[in-house]
Amino acid sequence: MPELPEVETTVGRIRPKLVRRHIAGIECSWRRTLCGSPATAARVLRGARIEAVGRRGKFVRIDTVRADATRVAVLIHLRMSGRLEVQPSSFARPAHTRLCVALDGGDELRFVDARKFGRVWVTREPEAVLGRVGVEPLSDGFTPDLLRCLLAGRSRVIKSVLLDQAVVAGLGNIYVDESLFRARLHPRMRSDRLSRRQCERLHRAIQSALRDGIAANGASIDWVYPGGSMQDRFAVYGRGGQPCPACQTAVVRMVVAQRGTHICPRCQRIRTGFSRGHRSTRNRRALRSNS
């Protein structure tokens, strides 16, 4: 938290306030927030013009160009509690403001991060930071066949694979749980055991869950990320003990891949056997022992 829909919403909110603005300076009040020297970051960014604001996975990416045509990127990972605000410098800074980028006209881009886990990079080589980020799940390149290939190449529980940012970018605990419910898949299923049809269902589920999250301006489940309404549309996440919207069975909370996980035990059963009449390994062993 925040995940892809929340980061995408953040980008959409700050982009109009930043593009074509010039950077006057940078100030870091919590040293670990900035990966690198604050003095170097201030020198490199001073006078640069912001050309674009976008998202890559869970990263906010701000692309700038200096007067000498050097391109410098500012990469921001919000982690657990980070948020970005553009406000006049005359306004009091919120508590837990860790970094400020001064803009022409007297505004500031403020990075507020109560838990201090967020990170900011100022770099001429953004791919050095982003190079291992996986495929964008809302891109044209994310196809059911690609998803099947990514899953088949890993022998892990499906939830663990989907949480891996080097596989699919931007998914976190919330939207993985919601996607698996929509696809009617148990989070403990082995990723390399999914059929083509299951992969197609999961592909549709991931994209629909993320698009619904973006349309709702993300999910606001605590004080960290305000303004979203996706939490009102959750089917299973955070709804332990409440009825499944599809079958009314009580939603169950368990731990999968070391993360709190919510499922409907009826809609998301683990299928131990193989399709089209193939027996499970356990059944085959039982038949041999009785013969």
Residue 221's pLDDT is 81
What share of the chain in percent tops pLDDT 70? 93
- Comparing CA positions, the residue from 224, 221, 213 lying closest to residue 12 is 213
**Residue 282 bears catalytic tag:** no
Give yes or no for residue 287 having a pLDDT over 50: no
Other CB atoms closer than 10 Å to residue 109's CB: what's the count? 24
CB 214 within 8 A of CB 184: no
| Residue from 58, 83, 110, 182 carrying the catalytic annotation | 58
Q: Which residue has the higher pLDDT, 1 or 67?
A: 67
CB 124 within 8 A of CB 70: yes
Domain range 144-263, CATH architecture: Orthogonal Bundle (1.10)
Q: How many residues does the chain have?
A: 291
Residue 250: alpha-carbon gap to chain centroid = 27
Location of each CATH 1.10.8.50 domain in the chain: 144-263
Confidence of residue 226 (pLDDT cuts 50, 70, 90): confident
**Average pLDDT score over residue span 152-167:** 96
3-state secondary structure of 221: coil
51: enclosing H helix or E strand: strand 49-56
Give dist(CA 30, CA 210) in Å, integer.
32
Question: How large is the greatest C-alpha to C-alpha distance in the chain, in angstroms?
Answer: 84
3-state secondary structure of 101: strand
| Residue from 3, 85, 108, 178 carrying the catalytic annotation | 3
| Residue from 2, 5, 126, 137 carrying the catalytic annotation | 2
Q: Which CATH number fits domain 4-130: 3.40.50.300, 3.30.390.10, 3.20.190.10, 3.40.50.10190?
A: 3.20.190.10
pLDDT digits (tens, 9 = 90+) for 97-146: 999 999 999 999 999 999 999 999 999 999 999 999 999 999 999 999 99
Location of each CATH 3.20.190.10 domain in the chain: 4-130
Confidence of residue 276 (pLDDT cuts 50, 70, 90): very low
| Residue from 188, 190, 193, 259 carrying the catalytic annotation | 259
Residue 290's pLDDT is 40
**Residue 259 bears catalytic tag:** yes
**Residue 3 bears catalytic tag:** yes
**Residue 269 bears catalytic tag:** no
List the beta bridge partners of residue 65: 49, 71
